Amino acid sequence: MTATPDTPATTRTGRPPVVDLATWQAARDELLAHEKAHTRAGDALAAARRRLPMVELDGTVEVVGPDGPVPFLDLFQGRDELVVYKHMWWDGVPHQGQCEGCTTTVWHMKDAVYLNARGVSYAVLTVGAWDEVAPYVAFMGYTEPWYSVKDLPEPVGGEMGYLCSFLRDGDRVFLTYSTTGRGTERVNGSAGLLDMTAYGRGEAWEDDPEGWPEGEVAGWFWRTDADGNGTWGPTGRPVPQWTRPGATPETTLGRPGPEG
């Protein structure tokens, strides 16, 4: 039987004030004005993003996938644009020890059908050797293409944890955009939904009303034990791994985390 995390039921401290529907609607309408301004500001940023210059790279550089080495140009799959996520990798570390932050990003982007419909391909790159990466991809059940960029320089290889956009013009390839940190949240639908709830993400950096539960370390829900308790300890796994066949509590994490 597959183990799955189950966050213990708790009674949280702090509640929004109770008002009548008309009062709630007035407050909601006031907030909506701010939300619309935020949306327009985001639109302006996207417009500026489309006006960035770009840098050319060698599209013939080879990455390694299930069919062996292929030129980076092949990742476009004949389309004009490509988005990649650059997944961190810890050499020689078991599945449960791989990056929980990268896992939450890639797990939320398991199907690129809507990108494909707009002429955009998607792939995951990682600095792990392919013979280590392939079993991990199979275990996680990922169906989008993964490739090893081990020992390759920027912008194909190099530092991981980035979302990058590329443009193809015939056989020429260009980097057009790159972001990391919270910039990668745009593919994390769970974070956006948590932001809509009364208690938010439950993280220490959030600005909460007085009396709300004390926030946890950022990303506390990325890795849990079998009971759903956030932990970077030896019994933890990136959360989606608990849904995979054969995932059980571990006694060895494989690497130290933020708390260890």
Which domains are assigned to the chain?
Answer: 49-185 (3.40.30.10)
Q: Can you give the pLDDT at residue 228? A: 87
Instruction: Check: CB of residue 161 under 8 Å from CB of residue 180.
Output: yes
| Residue 53 confidence class, pLDDT cut points 50, 70, 90 | very high
Tell me the mean pLDDT in the region 71-94: 97
Q: What is the DSSP string of 150-187?
A: TTPPTTTSSS-SEEEEEEEETTEEEEEEEEEGGGGGGG
Using a pLDDT cut of 70, give the percent of the chain over it: 92
pLDDT at 102 over 90: yes
Higher pLDDT, 8 or 183: 183
> Which residue carries 């990056």 as its tokens?
99
Share of the chain above pLDDT 90, in %: 80
- Does the pLDDT value for residue 2 go beyond 50? no
pLDDT digits (tens, 9 = 90+) for 121-171: 999 999 999 999 999 999 999 999 999 999 999 999 999 999 999 999 999
Provide the H-helix boundaries in the chain. Answer: 21-49, 100-107, 113-117, 130-140, 189-195
The pTM (predicted TM-score) of the whole model is: 0.90
> Residue 199 burial by CB count (10 A; 0-12/13-18/19+): exposed, middle or buried?
middle
**Is the pLDDT confidence value at 8 over 70?**
no
Q: What is the pLDDT of residues 21-33, one digit of tens each?
A: 999 999 999 999 9
